[in-house]
Amino acid sequence: WISIADVCGKGVQAATKTSMIKYAVRALVAAGLSPAGVVGEVNTMTAETGDTSDIVTLWVGRYSPAHDSLVWANGGHPPGILRRANGGFERLSVTGPLLGAMSGVSYEERRVSFTAGDRILLFTDGVTEARSGGEFFGEQRILDAFRATGSPQEDAERVLQMVRAFVQGALRDDIAVLVVSALGMHDSES
């Protein structure tokens, strides 16, 4: 299972919301829900608070190495980027609205092949919306950073370094970057 989320706000309240989302996702996965089911249930919980500041974006995926596939649902989170082993890119699109805005929303699931050597880059909007003057970091710079090869850790660090170099100062928003690599069934690393 792979997950990344972003909550509205900063400080203790945002950290509390983040913790609640984290444990809700873990509990829903343990209960056997699909990625779309997890996102839908977290949306219901968030929307039922009635607090308009409880806006969350959430990306949840389940990787099956036995089937070389990834199934995901995305509630308003920036689309993930899949880099194929051959260097091609695919966007892992949004499958429903951000969480907390309205209850009773259905989230779609998508499936994509995810084979040895493929990598997924997930990030929060603090990456694309990082600014230098009036210019955003944007998705093209993310693709440029992700084009180079290295370990998943090096890929994530490269994106973060490029954002910091672009901003040349304090970041306005929190940022998170996650890189996941598919391994073959016979690979010894995990």
Structure-model confidence comparison of residues 95 and 9, the more confident one: 95
9 pLDDT higher than 50: yes
> Residue 18's pLDDT is what?
85
Read off the tokens for 130. Answer: 């990082």
Q: What is the pLDDT of residues 43-87, one digit of tens each?
A: 999 888 766 667 899 999 999 999 999 999 999 999 999 999 999
Of 161, 165, 178, residue with least CA distance to 78: 178
> Residue 49's pLDDT is what?
76
> Residue 10's pLDDT is what?
77
Region 119-130: mean pLDDT is: 94
Gap between the terminal Cα atoms of the chain: 13
Q: What is the pLDDT of residues 15-49, one digit of tens each?
A: 888 889 999 999 999 999 999 999 999 999 988 87
Structure-model confidence comparison of residues 88 and 102, the more confident one: 88
The phi and psi torsions of 125 (rounded to 5 degrees) equal -65, -15
> Residue 190's pLDDT is what?
39
Annotate 48-114 with DSSP letters as a single string.
TT--TT--EEEEEEEEETTTTEEEEEEESPPPEEEEPTTS-EEEE---BPPBTS-SS-----EEEE-
